[in-house]
Each structure stands twice: as C-alpha cells, then as structure tokens.
Structure 1
Amino acid sequence: MLMSCRPNVHGATSTAQGIHLLPMELPSAAVINPAHNVRGKMSFIRRLGLGCIILAFLGLLYVPAYHSAQGPLGIGETTSSGPSKLSRYLKPVEELHGWSFNASRNLNWYIHPHINTTILSPNDSCTVSPSPYLLIVVCSAVGNQQQRMAIRDTWASETDLNSYNSTAIKVVFLLGQSDNETLNNSILEESHEYGDIVQEKFIDTYNNLTIKSVMLLKWVTTNCPQATYLMKTDDDMYINIDNLVKALKSRPQSSGTLIGALICHARPILDPKNKWYTPKYMFSEKMYPNYLSGTGYVMSVDVASKLYQSALSTPLLHLEDVYITGLCAGRAELKPVDHPGFSYVQRKLDTCTLRSVITAHKVDTSTMHAIWNKLKNSNTTCREKNATVQHRHGRNVGYFPVKKRASSKHCG
C-alpha cells in the first residue's frame, strides 16, 4: 500500500491514514546567520595558527644550543651523540670532524680558566734567575718522541742555550692527552727524564689545535708572567736562536710585540675533502683577517695575556693561527707584524740561507741534525747578497689560497 505525505497550507502534514506529523524544528538564528558563521571560522583559524606558532617556538627551544661533539677535556666536558634531527635539515654544509653543527665553540667550556688543568709541568720553567728572557713552547703531538729528541739534541740543546749567559732561554714541549694509555705513560717517563714537558688535560687531535694554543697561553700567563718574550712553534721547525735573540734585542721595546710570517688576503677553503676545510657555520666571512703563520710566531708576554683574555670571549675556530693571531688579536686591538726571518715554506739546505733566517719549516729528524751540523761546523763565508732572507712566494701554501703574499711589514 502506498502512502503519501504533503504539507498543507498551515504547515501541518497528513497522510491517507490521518497520521499527523509534527512540524520540523527550525535551526537557530546563529546557524543561519552567514556573518556569524564566517567569524566563527576565522576565530578557529586564528586559534589554530597561534597554536602552531607556539609549538614551533617550543620545538626551537628544545634544540640543544651548546654541547661538545668530542668532549676534548677530561673534566667538565659536555658530550653529544650527534647533531639533532633539526640541525640535519638546517646545516648548509658538511660538518667538520670534531666540531659538529651543534658543538659549543665557547673556549671556557674547554679551557676552564679558573681550574688547574695542567697534568705535567717542569718544576724550574720560570724559576730560573734571571727570569726567562725568551720562553719557547714547542707544540708537539703525544707520539712524536723522536721529533722532540731531535730538537733536544740540536737547536734546543742545553749546552747551546747556556751559552747565552745572562739571556735566559727556556724550551718546553706542550702536549695534550692521548686515548692510548701506553702513550700517556711514556710521556710520564719522558717528563721524569728530561723535565721539559707541559701536558694539559685535553684530547690531542689536529682539530683541537686551537684548544692547544689557548692552553699554551693559559699556562704561560699562569706560570711564567715574568718572562719577556714567548715563542709558539711546532716540532717540525728548526729555530735559529742566535738570529731570533738578535732580532728581539734590536727592538726598541718588548711590549706590544706580535711578529712572525704575516699572511694576508687568505680565503677559507670550502672543500669538505680538504684537510683545512672551514665550513660556513665556523667562519662565514669571505676572507680571514691578516694573521701570522702558526709554524712560528713570537709575542711579548703582555700580548700573550691580552690574547688569552680575548680568546675566552671569541668563538672558537679550529685553525689556531687564524684564531689566535687574527681573530683574537683583532678583538684585543693588536696588530700582527711581518718579520722576514720567519717563513712557512720549506727552506733550501743552503748554509748561507740558513744562517740568515730565524725559522725553517717541514724539518724531519734527519734534516734537523743536518741543519745543525751545517750551522755549527761549516766554514763557508757568505756574501751579503747571498745572505738575504728567502721570500715566501706561491699560492695555496698551507690551508689557504693566498691572494697577495706578505713581502713587507704591511698587507694592503
């Protein structure tokens, strides 16, 4: 049986069976009001957007801002299991080994300026009388015992250093720690035998050289503030102490000294495969400040103190010479100055050349003895024109493309 329903003129409905249906419930005015409906939607969108902003802000706060990727120090270090998920998307370039995108570059975390971090130290480094005129600190790797022995037997031999009489000269070797306990134990024995080892509490790796150099400044300013001059050099360098002392004695005053092989217009290397790669998050400028080659530079002890204080507020850069004599020197308003006796290139084994210079780079143990014998035993007479200092030519020397070499005391 078919049923039909149809509204009557008064809003009531009926069926063929006479069943009366109730009128439909009308929606409220708020529902059928278009303006009110739009405002409701807009309010919901605003609340949703505000919620997203709050969540994003909380997410950014959660990203760890400071932690060390390697834990260079054995005390108070902060370690990291790797970069955060967010940093993997944010980092513009490949990370530098040992200094991840998230790693803290606050030197205070690694140097601990108010804590004694020295493991080994010579007892008489700066207690000699008179006070040291020149303190030479050789930065040496933990495993480089042969290089240290070659230096002790040649330019840093006790008999040679004692020949300066009233001019007290002291040579020490600065090391960090190894993760090899056998090597660490051998350093302890070496220190007992020779008494010229300074060992600080940090992991001795190539990318920690800046930490090593700042540790050097910390140790000297703490233990040898009465010294006149400080030289930082490496264990593959031959130092002509005769010429160095003559150059320092000829200065009108000792204070404010910061000299070495000046490098100008050096640009960061952006190739991750290069040994001296510098990612943008470590150094974002197109050119390094003028700086002295880390192979060997000399400063007065008042400058050492200023550089140390500057380093404690300067973000770390893994290239120690750029950092110490460029960035920190700039903040301390110190100007590195070129001296022709210093060089970062390998010298020719020519007696007259070697007699005229202060430093020779890339010297292995056998060459160290060869230079020593040439300078001590040769009767060669050098004419003045042959005794000129070998200049520093060439591009891409070391870890920088050099736009213009420093052939004078100033770079443009």
Structure 2
Amino acid sequence: MRRRCSHLLVGATLVTAAIFFTWMWFWKPTSILRPATGLQPGTPSPLLPVRGSANLSDGTYTYHLNLSLFQSEFPLLQSYRCSLTLAPQRARPEGDNVTRPLLLLGIKSHPRSGARRAALRQTWAREGQVAGFWVRTIFLMGESEVSGHMNMVREESRAYGDVLQWDFTEGHHNLSLKERCFLAWLHNQHPRAAFIFKGDDDEYVNPEAVAQYVTEHGGSPVTLHGALQRHANVMRYSKYRVSETLYPLPVYPIFLSGGGYIFPGGSVGPLYEASHTLPVFPLDDVYFGFLALAANLNFRHDAHFYVYGLAFEPCQYRRALVVHGVGPERLLEVWKDVQSARCEEGAAGGR
C-alpha cells in the first residue's frame, strides 16, 4: 500500500509539473499591458486594446457604448496603438525655472498648417517663464499623404523640438486618437505637469491669463475647465454625423468644447485609465467628455474661453484665455495690439 501511494504521489507531481509548464508556455505576463516609458519615435506603445462596452450615467441620462458597433464603424479608432514618428525634445529650464510648475500647451495641428505654427511660435507659443509657471507648447499631429508636408514637419521638429507626431493619417474622426495618445504620452513622459491647456492652431491664447486662471481656480485635481456644452444635440448629418445605430440617444453627456480647455495634471491618470475601458468615440471633444464621466471628474465653466470667436478689442482679448478662429496673419496683428494696449489694472497681461 505504501509503495502504491508513493507511485500515486510521483504521478500526481509529474502531472502537476506538466500542467504548470504548459501554463507558463502560453501565459503572458500582465505587465505587457502597461505602457512603457521612454518610447522613441517609431516605437508603438505596448499597450494592448482592452476597451469594452460600457454603461455610464450622469444622473440624467444613461449612455451605452457598444464596443462591437464601434469596431464595426470605426475599427482604427479602437485598435490603433500609439506609435510615435516624432517626439519633442525635453525642456531644459535653467536655474530656479527647474522648480517652476509646468503649464503645457497641447495644440492640435495638421502637417500642412506650417504658417499657423510659425505665427504661434512668434506670439504665444514660445517657451518660457510666465506668472510663476514654466510654459511649453507641443504641437499634436498625425501624418499627411503629401510628402512636402511631412518634410516640413520634420524640419520644424529639428529646429524647434516641439512636435509630437503619431503615424495615423490626419482626419476628422482621427482627432480622437490625438486625445487618447496625448493622454498616454502625458502619463508616460510628463507625469509632473501641473496643468495642460488643450487647443487648436487657429487661435489666440493668452498664456499669462491661463496661468493666472489656474492659480486662482485650479486648486482641485479633479476639475476640468472650459466652455461647457450641456447635453448637446447629436447631429445626424455633416462631418459631425453620428449614426443612430452607433449612438441612439439624441444628446451627448456634458463635455468641454474642443476649442480650448484646461485640465490639471492630477486628472491625467484617471483619464488615461478611462481610455483603457471605453470605446473611442469619433468626435474628440465628446470622447473627452465620456472619459471625464468615466473618471468621475467635475467641470467648471468660464466665459473667458471664447471658443466661438470674439470681436476684437485689445483689452478684452487681454482678459481672454482663448479666442478661436484667428488666422496666422491676423494673429500677428492681434498680438502686437494686445501687447501695446493700456488696460485697466487687474486685467490679465500679454506675454
């Protein structure tokens, strides 16, 4: 009996070992699901898609996002891995600027829009110290099918070191990839950024007004700031069209207009984690609103985010955080007039 038990014990041990080594052969460590830091251009993020269907409620509406429908209509948005082609040079502030909090301006641009970027670099997109912050601008881009545009962007990247480019093709729906991939880049490369302003390259932005605003109103790490859109109607036509099959509700959750908004560095982690679980919505500002809802973040509306434009008056522009719809030639004129304007004390200055 003792010999029989011994044989049974050895047999059970061999079976267990076989199962263990078979499991080890097929098992993949969960760490590969986490993004690596220090990614170089041309290196895709090792993050594997783990997004799924979701039900979200804001207390008024419940939003159901069906992953299979999103995969059917917008497969690239769901499967794309954030592969960099150009990465910005790291900022190297000197002296006491090293300890200043970082205010990062993430500006969506298209490779063809070189004139816009040139105007921004001559005005408000210059790196430097502003009202106690170290301000830096990063241009967020996909790729163009025009080789001349791509060559221009590579030259700009070498000259200014302010381009963050991925290998997806520019397109209206692909703007949502800039949201997702920018969050991943922030999480990996700039975890200590104090605040992030997100905007477009056809805008007037006042970095000093932004810095003063976050100093006064940016105390909460879970509050996002901008022009609030409250349950906006879903459009079933134009480039903003979303099908009823994909999204049957007639309204969207509350979100901030993509023309310009601010979020604190403390919110990047929750937003980044939410991007792992939600399907990527084909409208970038709506997508960011869904991420904020999933991350349980709050909003603060402020009228100084002029996302629909503003008639020019120097002192009013000096108080504005952002004015959308300002072309490159006009921006140079506006900037000069705002800098030389004599305004009432207390108005936010230029740069």
Q: Does the TM-score normalized on the shorter chain lie above 0.5?
A: yes
1:216 corresponding residue in structure 2: 182
> Does the Cα contact within 8 Å between 1:108 and 1:312 map onto a contact in 2?
no
1:291 aligns with 2:241: no
* Whole-Å separation in 2 of the counterparts to 1:305 and 1:340: 27
How many residue pairs were aligned?
Answer: 281
Structure holding more strand per residue? 2
* Whole-Å separation in 2 of the counterparts to 1:248 and 1:131: 14
Q: Which amino acid aligns with 2:266?
A: D
Counterparts in 2 of 1:210 and 1:245: CA distance versus 1, 3 Å:
same
2:301 corresponding residue in structure 1: 338
* Whole-Å separation in 2 of the counterparts to 1:154 and 1:282: 42
> Does the Cα contact within 8 Å between 2:202 and 2:324 map onto a contact in 1?
yes
Say which structure, 1 or 2, has more relative contact order (CA 8 Å, 6+ apart): 2
1:354 corresponding residue in structure 2: 317
2:191 corresponding residue in structure 1: 225
> Does the Cα contact within 8 Å between 1:107 and 1:312 map onto a contact in 2?
no
> Does the Cα contact within 8 Å between 2:218 and 2:264 map onto a contact in 1?
no
Deviations 1:34-68 (A, max 9, x none): xxxxxxxxxxxxxxxxxxxxxxxxxxxxxxxxxxx
1:255 corresponding residue in structure 2: 221
* Whole-Å separation in 1 of the counterparts to 2:175 and 2:77: 12
1:321 aligns with 2:290: no
Counterparts in 2 of 1:100 and 1:332: CA distance versus 1, 3 Å:
closer
Counterparts in 2 of 1:252 and 1:232: CA distance versus 1, 3 Å:
closer
Percent of aligned pairs with the same amino acid? 27
Q: Which amino acid aligns with 2:166?
A: E
1:145 aligns with 2:114: yes
* Whole-Å separation in 2 of the counterparts to 1:175 and 1:241: 21
Counterparts in 2 of 1:102 and 1:314: CA distance versus 1, 3 Å:
same
Deviations 1:343-386 (A, max 9, x none): 2211111112212211101010122112211211123x4499xx
1:102 corresponding residue in structure 2: 72
* Whole-Å separation in 1 of the counterparts to 2:172 and 2:74: 18
Q: Which aligned pairs between 1:15-34 and structure 2 lie closer than 5 A?
A: none
Q: Which aligned pairs between 1:68-107 and structure 2 lie closer than 5 A?
A: 102-105=72-75
Q: Which runs of 5+ in 1 are unaligned?
A: 1-72, 77-98, 389-412
Q: Which amino acid aligns with 2:86?
A: L
1:25 corresponding residue in structure 2: none
SS at match of 1:275: coil
1:312 aligns with 2:282: no
* Whole-Å separation in 2 of the counterparts to 1:131 and 1:205: 36
1:111 aligns with 2:81: yes
Q: Which amino acid aligns with 1:207?
A: H
Q: Which amino acid aligns with 1:368?
A: L
> Does the Cα contact within 8 Å between 1:231 and 1:299 map onto a contact in 2?
yes
Counterparts in 2 of 1:225 and 1:198: CA distance versus 1, 3 Å:
same
Counterparts in 2 of 1:362 and 1:170: CA distance versus 1, 3 Å:
same
2:105 corresponding residue in structure 1: 136
Q: Which runs of 5+ in 2 are unaligned?
A: 1-41, 46-68
Counterparts in 2 of 1:215 and 1:299: CA distance versus 1, 3 Å:
same
Deviations 1:221-264 (A, max 9, x none): 11100111111110011111111111111136251131100011
Deviation, 1:283, is 1.8
SS at match of 2:140: strand
Q: Which aligned pairs between 1:143-292 and structure 2 lie closer than 5 A?
A: 143-158=112-127, 161-162=128-129, 164=131, 166-251=132-217, 253-271=219-237, 274-292=238-256
* Whole-Å separation in 1 of the counterparts to 2:274 and 2:243: 23
